[in-house]
Amino acid sequence: MCGITGFVDFSRNSTLSDLKAMTHVIEHRGPDDVGTEWFDTHACSLGLGFRRLAIIDLSPLGHQPMHNPADGCWIVFNGEVYNFKEIRKELEGNGHAFISHSDTEVILKAYQHWGMSCVDRFIGMFAMALYNPKEDKLILLRDRAGVKPLYYHWNEKILLFGSELKTFHRHPQFKKEIDLTALSSYFQFGYVPAPASIFKNTYKLSPGHYLILDLKSKEIQIHKYWDAADAYQLPKLNISLKEAENKTEEILTSAFQYRMISDVPVGVFLSGGYDSSCVTALLQKNSATKIKTFTIAASHLGTDHHEQICSFQEAMDIIPELSTIYDEPFGDSSAVPTTLVSRVARKHVTVALSADGGDELFAGYPRHRKSLNQLKKLNRIPNGLSGLLSKIVSVTDQPLSVANRRDKLKEVLFDSDPIHRFMIINQAFTASESSRLIGNKNEIRKKNFLISAENFDKNLDLLSGILLLEYKTYLADDILQKVDRATMSVGLEGREPLIDHRILEWTAQLPSAMKMDSVQQKILLKNIVHKYIPSSIMERPKMGFGIPLKDWMKGNLKDLFMEMMNDQALQSSGLLNVQEIKELREDYLNNKLYNFERIWFLFIFQQWYKRWMQN
């Protein structure tokens, strides 16, 4: 795990000092080594920067940027290709020689041998920049699910790229202008969906995509090489539940074992839920030594467990740091406990497995059942009548501290697509409420969040469509980014054993009834876990990472809250409807707010704005 950054500057105004500054600011992602390379080409200045967290091949031979003398290509690479040994063996059979034991060198040789189709062979998580001087191209590539982040800024004179947005702030040509459409998305969902970012002309490279910048023509082309939707559009398999369990466990075991490949100690985040228990149980079953686990008691699994009771003060101390760790507004409050457990794990290991993705693969969120029931009722209304009803429903503005059910109903009725309806039902703020927060700016597009949902197969059953959407949006842009920033903030590599594309490609073809029925959720996964852990233990209340933020922000942390949310602070950006937010703030302080997320999202934005726009 590492951090990458760099630029292509057609104006040639960038300096080596700029490159070093961009690289230095992500030292937390790679405290073990640093590297930069500078190129003056006929068309531009090009810089590659790298910070290393040594995981595979700890020797200096794993240093980056790495060069392949055979074809002249250079690479900076963040992540892991877990099956690199198999790929290396195949390449050696085709005459390629290696000097290191790193997966980075395997990527370079694979690109030399197969071109861009090499990515189809990779099992892993990755974000990389590859400079091909012979073809005058810079290639940016991101893994299939989006485990590893990759941002870029493009204004036709310069392309900046980096693992985190904070690298761009260190380049003098970066203009930090807030994109109001992205800000509206943030208030609705608590994150900014790819490919947008909070800044204009600045983007996330979407998962499963690669970007090619032609240094001669200055043209950018973006290509999709993988899409979860393709698997969901295949016919459902006609197999028994027992057959599905056996095959699923086989694929899970392979994926989990790959994530244990490392030259440094590896552990597992264990919450007591089905996902982390599944990862731990299957790993322990196949391991002669005890797996290191972190967080809660795990005696039944027979692991080497580390439990640390963190004080409220330790958790509260993280909150002022959130805007630095998450350099884009990020409203998922579980970032606090995730950062805490990362700090605990880093004392013992350099790699930690985080069992995210189970809810998106096997239908585990409570909102899946609740929303499905609501959508089924809405779908009984004919489209024509639904549109008519949306015009009839009258909506009057009310305080933002109160759920405007008529507003949400109107938006749901207006949009007949069930996948869009699912998104609307589960928003923190509706699109119109978000517009009110930003003063009804004309440039805000109402449906800015639907980028990932536009091309879904209309023939998908409703649950499959919901799971596909969650995988492409909430998982990629919230959960995976939360874990990446939290772990990397302390130089810990976070691996995602359930985010193996082979698992998605398999589970997408399984009938939805194997995932959720009228009584149970996560049916398939639970059946596998119950083979190793009694259901009587698993059905106990989950010991999660809950913290009383709602009380802290008007108690011990009230001074910080008011520093960010006082009238002057609210006016400072010139973007917000101050009167609306003042009423929301007072309702929260007077216990009249029904949804804490609303005030938390605003607090986080204010904290982010002060850190990145006023400094």
| CB 126, CB 143: distance < 8 Å | yes
The Cα angle at residue 451 between residues 446 and 453, in degrees rounded to 5: 105
Quick check: bond before 399 cis, omega within 30? no
Tokens of 293: 């686990």
Distances, alpha carbon 66 to alpha carbons 50, 100, 181, 433, 607, in Å = 10, 11, 38, 49, 38
Angle between helical axes of 462-470 and 366-379 (0-180°, round to 10)? 130
> b or e along 554-579 (b: 16 or more beta carbons within 10 Å of the residue's beta carbon)?
eeebeebbeebbeeebbebbebbbbe
| CB 182, CB 196: distance < 8 Å | yes
Find, among 53, 14, 20, the residue nearest to 35 by Cα.
Answer: 20
How far apart are the C-alpha atoms of 277 and 300, rounded to whole Å? 10
Q: One of 2, 44, 73, 278 is an active-site residue; which one?
A: 2
In what order do the strands lie in the sheet containing 351-353? 304-306, 292-295, 266-270, 351-353, 493-495
Work out the end-to-end distance of the chain between its first and last CA atoms, rounded to an integer number of angstroms: 29
Give the helix ranges, DSSP H, for 64-220.
Answer: 84-93, 103-114, 180-189
Q: State yes or no: is 2 an active-site residue.
A: yes
Residue type, 2: C
| 87 φ/ψ angles, rounded to the nearest 5 degrees | -65, -40
| 108 φ/ψ angles, rounded to the nearest 5 degrees | -60, -45
User: How many distinct helices (H) and strands (E) make up the chain?
Assistant: 26, 17
| CB neighbour list of residue 353: distance below 8 Å, 6 or more residues apart | 256, 259, 260, 266, 267, 268, 269, 279, 283, 494, 495, 496, 497
> b or e along 354-393 (b: 16 or more beta carbons within 10 Å of the residue's beta carbon)?
bbbbbbbbbbbbeebbebbeebeebeeeeeeebeeebeee
DSSP helix/strand/coil, 141: strand
Residue 188 CB burial class (10 angstroms; 0-12, 13-18, ≥19): buried
| CB 128, CB 77: distance < 8 Å | yes
Quick check: bond before 320 cis, omega within 30? no
List active site positions.
Answer: 2
